[in-house]
Structure 1
């Protein structure tokens, strides 16, 4: 009876292992662009060539070692160079390299050919989020990690339940119509980033001070995910990419919604805010832009100092305004990213939250004046 139970347990364990192995993917993601299919086929073609070379070379080597071993009575031969052999082992590798380089060059040229775009999106990398500007539609937004903090931090030793798209979900995904050629113009605001969506076979570095471009044309609707694949700092793994490929009708509806949302969120720089209003607005700005480094409780972490009780935060407000606008060290410059109202709100929030009770209110007009100084 015990033996039968042992065999049953072994069979169950083997079945579970084989099932897990079947779910384990060893190849590239299934491409959804023609260029992605070419990259996939090129990868397979080169892998086959390398595998054949491996088998032939090591097969010949091991055969020679085994067949001509001293124990079998063979003696080492004395011979000099052979012109024929020299020519053969020069020509054959050269032909193999040409056979590999020809299709690879065609794919690389196709990747760099960004002509004939149906739409253009400017992509800007920040520590740690992406900025998108639809140059044809006049739409702009930032895309940040949407995975809740409790899912990627272990609170009080308890492992949180994580969803299927853990660390690969964002608050504002990129939306593009299916079957349209999309040109991307990439740059960065601080350090080098890299925009990568494997299903599109697109990977392009975003470098401060430079504009790099690439393109894709998704042939299938769906949600496609990627990541920044350049080591851009401490929280490099916190800036995923999500692209929603939808029908033209859904895309047009999304564009209309985004324009209405932008109009509704447009701040009047001359508006005079009350302290409670500005603190409430500032918390939203802080949670979206600052909490990932300084934490939601303002206690800081690693190279990022605590804001609760900070001399910078409770000191002269002009110093904090200058720091947020111009940045310093690991602190990015927010003058090109946030509006006057958003910066004023963030400063007001930090100066009146946690243990900081300055009672000071910063108005957008003060930030506008500081920009011109």
Structure 2
């Protein structure tokens, strides 16, 4: 995001310096508070962190992200300290006759070994995240997700009712009445039970799309003629929002995703209603062979 520049007279800065500092401090505190109080499942203004994770994969990604930040901070501070030491101790005034040393065996061994150790420290949790992502647990529920230009459709298998429906962007008064965030709400939500392993099989009917859900810690491409699969297990009830993250055409920005995670009882009640509300699939939705 670009930052606007303005020319201000020094006198003006001095006159309003205290007020500006107070406003800046208030803004930073407000931003920190907003980020700390960020709800789950949607972005908030001034949010500085990732959305709160509600799946095992998202939690591991979240922890790995913060580990990388601490490692980067340590490296930056170490390099800064070295630069300051070089500037202070080895400037021309203190060293009129510079050293002619060209090799230092211990130093060269150290700056080879230390980066390797840092990479190992990064690799171990990275492989752990990949192992979790690529595991293939037995599913409690399968849902087929189809990307269209420009909306999503969902198909549920016969064992929970065998129905399908479209999910379009909720706009105008309908969006305001729903209380859901603008450009992220849909007229129909994908509903899944809490603490159950849900597998989604994703494809597209026309062009490439991408089904992305930040709080679940993944996004998966929807490719015409190809079926991609992923899994999640949400550990908290609530409404979670995502968007298509593949530039897919004119209304790419208007392809929101809404997933509602509910209790088992609420899910059973929803499927009973959905069987009469939505169109039935012919013989049930067809799913590719998977570890179900």
Query: Shorter-chain TM-score: which interval?
Result: 0.7 to 0.9
Within 5 Å, give how 1:215-364 maps onto structure 2. Answer: 215-262=231-278
Aligned length: 251
Alignment-derived partner of residue 322 in structure 1: none
- Cα 1:75–1:173 change in 2 (3 A) is farther
- Counterpart CA distance in 2 for 1:249 and 1:170 is 23
- Counterpart CA distance in 2 for 1:214 and 1:225 is 17
Following superposition, the deviation at residue 75 of structure 1 comes to 3.5
Alignment-derived partner of residue 102 in structure 1: 124
Asked if 1 retains the 8 angstrom alpha-carbon contact of 2:55 and 2:216, the reply is yes
Relative contact order (alpha carbons < 8 A, sep ≥ 6): 1 or 2 greater? 2
- Counterpart CA distance in 2 for 1:182 and 1:229 is 21
Which protein has the bigger helix share? 1
Q: Give every structure 1 segment of 4 or more consecutive aligned residues whose post-TM-superposition deviation is greater than 4 Å.
A: 6-16
Following superposition, the deviation at residue 35 of structure 1 comes to 2.2
- Counterpart CA distance in 1 for 2:82 and 2:151 is 52
- Counterpart CA distance in 2 for 1:74 and 1:186 is 68
How far does the alpha carbon of each residue in 1:242-301 deviate from its partner, in whole angstroms, 9 at most, with x for none? 1100011110111011111136x99xxxxxxxxxxxxxxxxxxxxxxxxxxxxxxxxxxx
Q: Is 1:68 equivalent to 2:107 in the alignment?
A: no
- Counterpart CA distance in 2 for 1:19 and 1:59 is 29
Alignment-derived partner of residue 183 in structure 1: 199
Q: CA RMSD in A?
A: 2.8
- Counterpart CA distance in 2 for 1:208 and 1:186 is 10
- Pick from 20, 26, 32 the counterpart of residue 30 of structure 2: 20
- Cα 1:80–1:59 change in 2 (3 A) is same
Look up the SS of the partner of 1:27 in the other structure: coil
Following superposition, the deviation at residue 198 of structure 1 comes to 1.0
Look up the SS of the partner of 1:70 in the other structure: coil
- Pick from 141, 144, 153 the counterpart of residue 131 of structure 1: 153
Look up the SS of the partner of 1:26 in the other structure: coil
Alignment-derived partner of residue 280 in structure 1: none
Which protein has the bigger strand share? 2
Asked if 2 retains the 8 angstrom alpha-carbon contact of 1:178 and 1:247, the reply is yes
For structure 2, list consecutive stretches of 5 or more residues without a partner in the other structure. 1-15, 35-45, 282-292
Q: Is 1:202 equivalent to 2:218 in the alignment?
A: yes
Asked if 2 retains the 8 angstrom alpha-carbon contact of 1:188 and 1:209, the reply is yes
- Cα 1:245–1:150 change in 2 (3 A) is closer
Alignment-derived partner of residue 169 in structure 2: 145
Alignment-derived partner of residue 166 in structure 1: 182
For structure 1, list consecutive stretches of 5 or more residues without a partner in the other structure. 1-5, 152-159, 267-373
- Counterpart CA distance in 1 for 2:22 and 2:118 is 47
Who wins on radius of gyration, i.e. which is larger? 1
Following superposition, the deviation at residue 178 of structure 1 comes to 0.5
- Counterpart CA distance in 1 for 2:231 and 2:249 is 26
Asked if 1 retains the 8 angstrom alpha-carbon contact of 2:137 and 2:197, the reply is no
